Structure 1
Amino acid sequence: MPPLSRKRLSRNSANRTLRSLVRALTDVGTPRERSVSELASDMSKRISQSKPSTFNGKGEPSELELWLREFDKLFDVVECPEELKVNQAAFYLVGEADHWWANSRYGLLEQTNGVFNWDLFKRAMREQLYPLHVRKDKSNEFARLEMGDMTVDEYYRKFMEYI
């Protein structure tokens, strides 16, 4: 093979430089793939800006339902990916609810072969924090609900507590 001339070396160098520039320009318009931790951090910031409620696992079942609805709406607004919802919401559990999650998390993940999503999280919370007998009692209360001497607004609010 004949020795490379200075002209040929400079053409090869120019070609490499040109290829690098084309690659760099192509990448400019392409969004960079974000890591899961970057995405989770971004979601955490966006969610915390809304100052969502914490949930302690005590009180009426309606309090849990309100908290879950708050997060359903929040996740829609911030376009939270499904795979991040459970951890993002679990951050806002305190007291008894946080204790339940800390002790149940790995067992629930194992039961579902690691596929534990937001809907399963909500179901598990309802089952644990408001067992069947409590839900039946509330259902019976709802069946016996009468307006009596309540105003329409009071009756409506009471009715909505049971939904």
Structure 2
Amino acid sequence: MNPEDFSGTTDPFVVEGWIRSLEVIFRYIDMTDADRVSCIIYQLKGDASLWWEGAERGVNLATLTWEEFKRVFYNTYFTSDVRSRLKREFMTLCQGDSSVAEFVQKFDRGCHFVPFLIANDVAEKLLHFFDGLRPTIGRDMMLTDPTDYTTAVAKVFRAEQSLKDIDWEMQHKKNRAEQASRYNKKPYTGSPKRPG
């Protein structure tokens, strides 16, 4: 396994993704807390390495746990105000002109930052998901009454495709009607009427 280095960034999704990717490796090879901290310190490069040189003065390396390291790390790279902003954005998330795929991606990312919503109540999570959808899609989903998020997502993709198919059919009929009306018009061959 070859985890990526971290040079520092202000993108919270990159920061959180990097930590999560390392945690997957740590669980897979069953690393101790001390080994996790040593490994991650080795992965810090550039600005992040400079940050750690200052941050390590405020911690006891002999007793530093993985959770304590993450707290120190997040205080710089994924601050509480950024997490609060992401929670607020999630709580007001709406599909708007986005595709279902884009909306689902934003929703899934947001769920990670609002764990109380996903951990405690499946019905609440589904309701929040439906409320954020475009009304035409959300209405269809509420009628199908899915009981889990995975099923709801699959149905939302199908509903979006159905709406696209309807739009295509309507446009196709409109184009055929316009073509038919052009071909059915007879040119005027008579003389113009004179005012009498």
The TM-score range, normalised by the shorter chain, is 0.5 to 0.7
Alpha-carbon distance, 1:105 to partner = 0.9
Secondary structure class of the residue paired with 2:4? coil
Equivalent of residue 99 in structure 1, options 43, 50, 67: 50
* 4+ long deviations beyond 3 Å: none
d(CA) in 1 for partners of 2:45 and 2:107? 28
Q: TM-score, normalised by structure 1?
A: 0.61
Conserved in 1, the CA contact under 8 Å of 2:6 and 2:43?
Answer: yes
Residue matched to 2:20: 69
d(CA) in 1 for partners of 2:8 and 2:108? 20
Residue matched to 2:156: none
Secondary structure class of the residue paired with 1:91? helix
Q: Which runs of 5+ in 2 are unaligned?
A: 113-196
Residue matched to 1:120: 68
Output the amino acid matched with 1:156. V
Q: How does 1:76-155 map to 2 (within 5 A)?
A: 76-109=27-60, 114-155=62-103
1:159 matches 2:81: no
Q: How many pairs does the alignment contain? A: 111
Output the amino acid matched with 1:126. Y
Secondary structure class of the residue paired with 1:142? helix
RMSD: 1.8
Residue matched to 1:58: 9
Secondary structure class of the residue paired with 2:19? helix
d(CA) in 2 for partners of 1:106 and 1:87? 15
Conserved in 1, the CA contact under 8 Å of 2:7 and 2:47?
Answer: yes
Alpha-carbon distance, 1:103 to partner = 1.1
Output the amino acid matched with 2:52. W
d(CA) in 2 for partners of 1:109 and 1:61? 26
Deviations 1:51-102 (A, max 9, x none): 2112222131111111111111101112222221101111111222221111
d(CA) in 1 for partners of 2:36 and 2:24? 12
Q: Which runs of 5+ in 1 are unaligned?
A: 1-49
Output the amino acid matched with 2:12. P
The structure showing larger relative contact order (alpha-carbon pairs under 8 Å, at least 6 residues apart) is 1
Alpha-carbon distance, 1:160 to partner = 2.8
Q: Percent identity?
A: 27
Secondary structure class of the residue paired with 1:109? coil
d(CA) in 2 for partners of 1:125 and 1:67? 12
Q: TM-score, normalised by structure 2?
A: 0.52
